[in-house]
Amino acid sequence: MNQHGQFGKVKQWGFLVKDLDKAMAFWTETLGVGPWWGYRNVSLESTFKGETNTVKMHVGLAFQNGVQIELIQQTNDVRSPYSEFKQTDKEQVMHQIAYFAPDIDDAVARAKATGMSELGVCTNMLGQRYYYMSNDDLGDLVVELMEVDDGFVADYERCAKEAEQWDGSEPYRLISL
């Protein structure tokens, strides 16, 4: 194992939120985190605990010290890696720590070899897969293994660098799909 752990450096802290706009405002106005990039009306194919559905959501992405912060608001009522949160009275909760996985199949196999179990997988419209792995020792927190390619990594690095220089202007940069 290297100095950065089993899967490299943590690349993302992910949170589930009830209201994306309210959550982004809190992170920006209270914690000074921004700017926010992201997408409204995202569709992912989700297989979670054996059930396959199309999950709809809004996603906000920002950076703090080079690590991405993801806010996810599921907007439909299908079962997914995010749906159990909708039944709580919380406004937002930490859901995942995420790692880049250029070889996603190898990363999932290594996670399973360490005793983690696969809760589910989401696939985006480009075919990239995001696996959610669990272990009883993590409690409600999951490990997300993100399938990445050079373009994904370049965009991540561009946004992280821009966030370092952010002057507080134009805090919300979301597009609708």
pLDDT, tens only, 160-169 = 999 999 999 9
CATH code for the domain of 91: 3.10.180.10
Q: For 29-47, how does the pLDDT look when each residue is reduced to its tens digit (9 = 90+)?
A: 999 999 999 999 999 999 9
138 in any annotated domain: yes
Distance CA 169, CA 171 (A): 6
169 in any annotated domain: no
Match 């220089």 to its residue by tokens: 165
Distance CA 137, CA 39 (A): 32
174 in any annotated domain: no
List, in sequence order, every beta strand (DSSP E) within 49-148. 51-64, 67-74, 92-101, 117-123, 129-134, 142-147
- This prediction's pTM: 0.94
Range of the domain at 150: 12-164
Strand-pair category, 36-48 with 129-134: unpaired
